[in-house]
C-alpha cells in the first residue's frame, strides 16, 4: 500500500494492470488500455507480450504511443509484421489471450459502441470507429474493458454495435458461433465488474477505496447489480503508483518535445 494520495484514474489503470499475467499475449488498445498494459510490463509482468494493431509484436515502449502508428512501438518491438498477418495469423489464429479495449458507450452485457452517438444517419457525434476492435472482441480468448463511469458512457442501450460483447446476454455468443469468452472483466474508475456466469450481465465485485454503491449507481445508466460478497480493491502500492506516474511524465515530456530527466537509460 502507498502512503501517497491517488486519483480514480490512477486506481483504474493500476487495477487493470493487475489483471494481466506474465505469460499473457495482449492485444492493446490506445489510451487507458495501453497505460494499464505497460504498467503491468514494468512491474509484475515483465515477460508479457504486447501487440498493437499496426503489427508490432513484443513492443516495450518507453512512452505511451499517440496511436497504433507511433514509431515508438516499432522501434521497441521484437518484430513487426503486416496488418493482414497480424489479424489472420495472430488474432484470428487464436494466439491472443487478452484483448484490452476501451469504449465510448457500453451496455450491461459488454457490448461496445465507438462509432456514433445518436442516429447513425444524423449522429450527434461521429466517433473514430471500430478499427480492429470488432475483430479483437470476437477472436481474443478474453476481453478486458476499461472506461470512466458516466451516465452517457454506461448506457441501457448503446446507439451502435461496434464490438460484440455478450449481445443480449446468456449464451448469445455461443448461439452465433463465437467460441471465445468475450468480456470477462470491466475496470472503471470506481469499481471492478465481472459478468454473471449465467446472464452475463456485468456485476460489481469490488469497490475502489472510498467508493460507495451509490457512487457507482449514480454514474451508471442501468440498474447495477452488486455481488453478494463484495471486496474493496487494494489501493496502489508505491511501486505501482511511481511506475504509472513516471510513465505518464515521460510520455508528456516526449509528446511536448521537452527534455525529460527521468527517461530510462
Catalytic (active-site) positions = 53
CB hemisphere CA count around 59 (13 angstroms): 29
- Residue 63: name the closest of 86, 80, 84, 39 by CA: 39
Distance (Å, rounded) from C-alpha 37 to C-alpha 99?
11
Q: Which residues pair with 98 in a beta bridge?
A: 26, 142
Distance (Å, rounded) from C-alpha 106 to C-alpha 101?
11
**E-strand stretches of the chain:** 25-28, 49-51, 56-57, 79-80, 98-101, 105-106, 112-113, 116-118, 123-126, 142-147, 183-188, 191-195, 202-207, 225-232
Amino acid at each position: 500500500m502507498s502512503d501517497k494520495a491517488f486519483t480514480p484514474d490512477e486506481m483504474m489503470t493500476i487495477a487493470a494492470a493487475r489483471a494481466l499475467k506474465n505469460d499473457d499475449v495482449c492485444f492493446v488498445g490506445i489510451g487507458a488500455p495501453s497505460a494499464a498494459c505497460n504498467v503491468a510490463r514494468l512491474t509484475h509482468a515483465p515477460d508479457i507480450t504486447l501487440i498493437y494493431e499496426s503489427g508490432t509484436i513484443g513492443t516495450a515502449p518507453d512512452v505511451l504511443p499517440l496511436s497504433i502508428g507511433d514509431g515508438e512501438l516499432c522501434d521497441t518491438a521484437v518484430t513487426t509484421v503486416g496488418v493482414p498477418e497480424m489479424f489472420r495469423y495472430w488474432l484470428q489464429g487464436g494466439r491472443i489471450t487478452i484483448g484490452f479495449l476501451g469504449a465510448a458507450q457500453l451496455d450491461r452485457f459488454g457490448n461496445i459502441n465507438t462509432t456514433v452517438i445518436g442516429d447513425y444517419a444524423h449522429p450527434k457525434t461521429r466517433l473514430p470507429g471500430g478499427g480492429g476492435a470488432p475483430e479483437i472482441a470476437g477472436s481474443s480468448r478474453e476481453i478486458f474493458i476499461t472506461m470512466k463511469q458516466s451516465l452517457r458512457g454506461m448506457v441501457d442501450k448503446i446507439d451502435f454495435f461496434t464490438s460484440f460483447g455478450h449481445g443480449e446476454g446468456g449464451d448469445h455468443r455461443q448461439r452465433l458461433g463465437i467460441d471465445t469468452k468475450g468480456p470477462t472483466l470491466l475496470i472503471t474508475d470506481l469499481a471492478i465488474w465481472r459478468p454473471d456466469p449465467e446472464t452475463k450481465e456485468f456485476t460489481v465485485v469490488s469497490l475502489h477505496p472510498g467508493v460507495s454503491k451509490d457512487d457507482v449507481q449514480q454514474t451508471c445508466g442501468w440498474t447495477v447489480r452488486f455481488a453478494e460478497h463484495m471486496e474493496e480493491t487494494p489501493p496502489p502500492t508505491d511501486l505501482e503508483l511511481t511506475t504509472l506516474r513516471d510513465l505518464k511524465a515521460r510520455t508528456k515530456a516526449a509528446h511536448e518535445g521537452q527534455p525529460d530527466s527521468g527517461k530510462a537509460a
